[in-house]
Amino acid sequence: MTAILRGLRGASWIWAALGALVMWLLLGFFAGRFNLESLIATSTTAAFLAIVAMGQMIVITTGRGAIDLSIPGVITLSAYLATGMSLGSNARLLWVFPLALAMGAAVGAVNALAVLLLRIPPIIATLGVGYIVTTLILVYNPHYRSTYVASLLTHVARDRLLGVVPLVVLVALGLAALLAWTFRATAFGKSLAALGQSLPAARLSGIDVTLVQIIAYVVSGVLAAFGGVLISARVGGAFLGLGDPYLLETVGSVVVGGTLIMGGRAVPVGTLFGSLFLVLLVTAMQVAGMRIGGQYVAEGALIIAVLLLATGRGAR
């Protein structure tokens, strides 16, 4: 019985893992050599993506076409806050970091309010909220004056444990493990998956569907803000449009990882591998000398292709 379960669950993320492996081999082939170092470097990049993609995954799992399009805006704003307000001081980080997370939570709460209370479709609600966040960035931008990153952040974003495993990769792994446990062994995880499968059935099972969805949007906002803080440390500052690539890529990682786009099933481990796969793909395209236009085309086409395959397997 458990073997069947494991088999079923395994099938959903194994493809992303295989894809990442194949991509890595291809990359080695292009580069003419296989080294662990390049894998570590790409997995660092993937870790940043994975952290924010986990939030996207949680929102998507609420089902019926839910999606968080405000993630890029939150990432950028949080990067601005983290660098612009901490001014490179670890002490200031003590309140700047919570502030950034609170900003993410607030954006998530506004999203939830618009979706649940005002009944605006998630796409529009999060898109609209995202635009407002973007405006906040534009307003804040002229006052922004720092390219200094607190050393503590740099440490987390760039350093490695024992010189081998990047800390941020550990963070992403820990997050994935935490979420995997949440979906397996907490009422929140079960409720989230339940309402993504069938909202009426979830309501009749006594789930507070409003509360659970609010939490989902808030978590997504917080993770985007958290990711934004780390990303600012990685790139050494903040700039307009910093978060933009993360729109398609979060959705891509989630979908590639076997999470159902129609909701009801989240696969945190899959999202991890999905992120790795996407980053490897981009790296491979760069190594192969593909121009940026071609990369965009390939990424967009890939997501659609994966969706075609995923729905083809008769998941729903």
Residues 1-20 that bind another protein (CB under 8 A): 1-2, 4-5
Considering only residues 178 through 237, tell me which ones interact with another protein, judged by CB under 8 A. 182, 184-188, 190-191, 193-194, 197-198, 200-201, 203-207, 211-212, 215
Burial 281-296 (b: 16+ CB within 10 A, else e): bbbbbeeeeeeeeebe
- Tell me if 121 contacts another protein by CB under 8 A: yes
Stretch in the footprint of another protein (CB under 8 A) among 37-45, 74-82, 158-166, 302-310: 302-310
Place of tokens 């979830």: 202
Q: Is 51 helix (H, G, I), strand (E, B) or coil?
A: helix
- Tell me if 90 contacts another protein by CB under 8 A: no
Structure tokens given for 109: 């709460």
Longest CA–CA span in the chain (Å) reads 60
The interface mask with another protein, positions 22-61, x = CB under 8 A, is ----------------------------------------
For residue 284, which of 49, 72, 19 has the smallest C-alpha distance? Answer: 19
- Tell me if 264 contacts another protein by CB under 8 A: yes
Judged by CB, which is closer to another protein: 38, or 141?
141
Judged by CB, which is closer to another protein: 87, or 248?
248
Residue 233 beta carbon to another protein: minimum distance, rounded to whole angstroms: 26
Q: How far is CA 170 from CA 39, 209, 262, in A?
A: 15, 32, 29
Judged by CB, which is closer to another protein: 127, or 165?
127
CB 237 within 8 A of CB 76: no
Judged by CB, which is closer to another protein: 158, or 203?
203
264: number of CA atoms within 13 Å, CB side?
Answer: 12
Residue 295 beta carbon to another protein: minimum distance, rounded to whole angstroms: 7
User: In angstroms, how far is the first alpha carbon of the chain from the final one?
Assistant: 22
Residue 44 beta carbon to another protein: minimum distance, rounded to whole angstroms: 24
Judged by CB, which is closer to another protein: 32, or 314?
314
Structure tokens given for 146: 């720092």
Judged by CB, which is closer to another protein: 107, or 150?
107
Considering only residues 61 through 80, tell me which ones interact with another protein, judged by CB under 8 A. 65, 67
CB 84 within 8 A of CB 236: no
CB 78 within 8 A of CB 137: no
Among 138, 161, 177, 288, binds another protein (CB under 8 A): 138
- Tell me if 144 contacts another protein by CB under 8 A: no
Distance CA 207, CA 204 (A): 7
